[in-house]
Structure 1
């Protein structure tokens, strides 16, 4: 569990508490522990669940290599898509840049050394690679692929943020900022735990991997759960699954939720966090949610669209409707997550005392 260096629990009622030195248990046993409230954080892959967890945990780790991995892999998939579309770069030099980036993205040592926040000692993000990516990002053909095909090639949501900071992340003394950390995509593998106190209750929050390959581990966490926090991305209504291009991500999220709320957790409080409100608002300016929901006849208004999605989730529940709560959130906003999580803790504490 997340503890301070002297092995004490985090008291989130202490305004002087700073968790920057915390260590987390990345192979936590969710069925053993001394706590009053066990929260299970679930959600589909890339829902922003782990970003939400990082905000709750106040995680500050050195993720420089992971940032570099995100930038290289995102540029690589766009270069590959460019080839598939039979598009050409404006110069032979740019083609060589693309080949070097593609080659690095397939380097097993690079992949294994950067998908961990601890990273590796070897620097794969050389000046040459940094220059390659900088030149490619400026190219009009890559920009065309990014604008028109980013959903097809699964470019992660934080890609543009980092591409606009290429001059910063290439520096040898670069240390990711708090904002960088929140935009940095990192898959949750296994089970991670953070513990804290709230209203005289001891809480433990378990974050479990959301990728399809990780979901088989969920059942190992089900024992003694006080409440489930289920994160779903509002912005996924026009995206396909990374693991299955035939399946819409929003549909998958709804299906997973239906199985949870009517199965093992049919009597357990479930808090739905509709995440990525910022991206959702931008997408609505281009096209509405009818891309996913054929029965939607409303406008592209944010409130109307969100209410429809909220009702979709609520309609799937076949048991006590009082145990389902829904919040909207932008997990990259520290203030947003703080407010939402305070509400969640209060709701769960109240439920715990009344049931």
Structure 2
């Protein structure tokens, strides 16, 4: 073997062949090569020195606090992360408004598309009843119709309205292309309601998602020099209102029709028949159309918190935080995708976390997983909580439970949806927010006590993370708790 290597590489070193100078190198070329190698070595040495300095600084500085956000898809992880940003990096938060404006516009277009899809189903049923056709010639779409479900009749005006709103479908596609210019937009089916209560149980709505590794937030911002700035460009918010491709122009022109559609009694009845409450979904803005479709609309902090764009993969955000009167700490907050296919990515982050914020949305008691329509979402949260609590790698990690989306839970119960219908063990207890929320808190606490490998405190908060004021107070308490524990572990208190 050695003789073979010697025959191929005379010096016995394959790298020598790669690094050797060209055999016909001139003196000038040699000087240029040596100068280039010297500059490259200087850059390499500078990088090594900077890495060494950072290591020394990290050793002297307070320990980095690492927090992991966990929970199923649409549990509120990204909204919690946005709250961290708003509280601790408000300037950076403001600089992203241009991209969040696009997400709000996407949310509006998607909500309208869902309604238009349901109108299409209703019209197909209406046409089928008026002009019966042989079952063999029915389209696959028409074959989904069930005779026991009768939609309200759509008028000619409804159909004209539907046609006038069709440009919003192109707006949705354009926004998706711009949010993810590298064709990295992916779609995941999101089952909006319980299949057994739907007239069309196989009907899924595709939710767009972007990869967290792609810098999609820069897609709508423009960095202009002072000479390039125009009166229509909001330099603080990063929004170019003169952009001819601005989807806001189409949304603005369709505003009256969208308002008419959302307030139409027949459309309300269609949604009721479909057992679909759009107002309970993330990214709902149809009650604010006059404001969010204005030509120079800039999203408020509340709008950004409510905006919904599904991210895939793991995103890391760094903050410099100060908890109470204690020393400032560098925080790293990790947001990991909650879809079933992404949960395998959680494990590598378990070993050195200071705290895990686990979000369990209580409002989803009457919904099922998009990935498995046989699994109730609240039941899935309980199962996930148990697996996190019992994990040996996390036996010394603080677990902080956010029983989230309490505002939506309260609205659902007040609308007449019975908690006990879906959570059988709740029985015939009072159908109130206080009763249902406290019942679930006891269930999660019981699982925590039973499955935790070691005794540890149970931290639980009722949250509506789109509510800035209350969430700010809760996150301040979380910061104090985590930093105090961090200092205790470091023998500094």
The reply to whether TM is greater than 0.5 is yes
Aligned to 1:331: 465
Aligned to 2:65: 37
Instruction: With the length of structure 1 as denominator, give the TM-score of the two structures.
Output: 0.80
Aligned to 1:130: 255
Bigger helix fraction: 2
Does residue 74 of the first structure (1) align with residue 204 of the second (2)? no
Cα distance in 2 for residues equivalent to 1:301 and 1:93 = 41
Alignment CA distance shift 1:177-1:277 (3 Å): same
Aligned to 1:22: none
Aligned match of 2:274 in 149, 161, 167? 149
How far is 1:175 from its partner? Answer: 0.6
How far is 1:281 from its partner? Answer: 1.5
Aligned to 1:196: 320
Alignment CA distance shift 1:140-1:128 (3 Å): same
How many residue pairs match? The answer is 322
Structure number with greater CO (CA < 8 Å, separation at least 6) is 1
How far is 1:194 from its partner? Answer: 3.1
CA RMSD in angstroms, aligned pairs only: 2.9
Residues 244-253 or 124-133, more deviating = 124-133
Alignment CA distance shift 1:256-1:70 (3 Å): same
Q: Which runs of 5+ in 2 are unaligned?
A: 1-54, 87-92, 126-150, 180-209, 211-215, 221-242
How far is 1:179 from its partner? Answer: 1.7
Greater Rg by CA: 2
Q: For each residue in 1:130-163, what CA deviation from the matched residue of structure 2 results, as whole angstroms up to 9, or x when unmatched? A: 344233213222222344535488972442xx21
How far is 1:309 from its partner? Answer: 0.6
Q: Which runs of 5+ in 1 are unaligned?
A: 1-31
Instruction: With the length of structure 2 as denominator, give the TM-score of the two structures.
Output: 0.59
Does residue 206 of the first structure (1) align with residue 234 of the second (2)? no
Aligned residues of 1:57 and 1:194 also touching (Cα < 8 A): no
Alignment CA distance shift 1:345-1:178 (3 Å): same
Equivalences for 1:1-355 in 2 at 5 Å? 34=58, 35-58=63-86, 59-60=93-94, 61-62=96-97, 63-85=100-122, 86=125, 87=151, 90-99=154-163, 101=165, 104-105=168-169, 108-114=173-179, 116-120=216-220, 122-125=245-248, 126=250, 127-147=252-272, 149=274, 151=276, 156-159=281-284, 162-190=285-313, 191-198=315-322, 199-200=326-327, 201-263=329-391, 264-285=393-414, 286-297=416-427, 298-317=429-448, 318-319=451-452, 320-355=454-489
Q: For each residue in 1:180-214, what CA deviation from the matched residue of structure 2 results, as whole angstroms up to 9, or x when unmatched? A: 11221122333131322332243222222223343
Cα distance in 2 for residues equivalent to 1:89 and 1:134 = 20
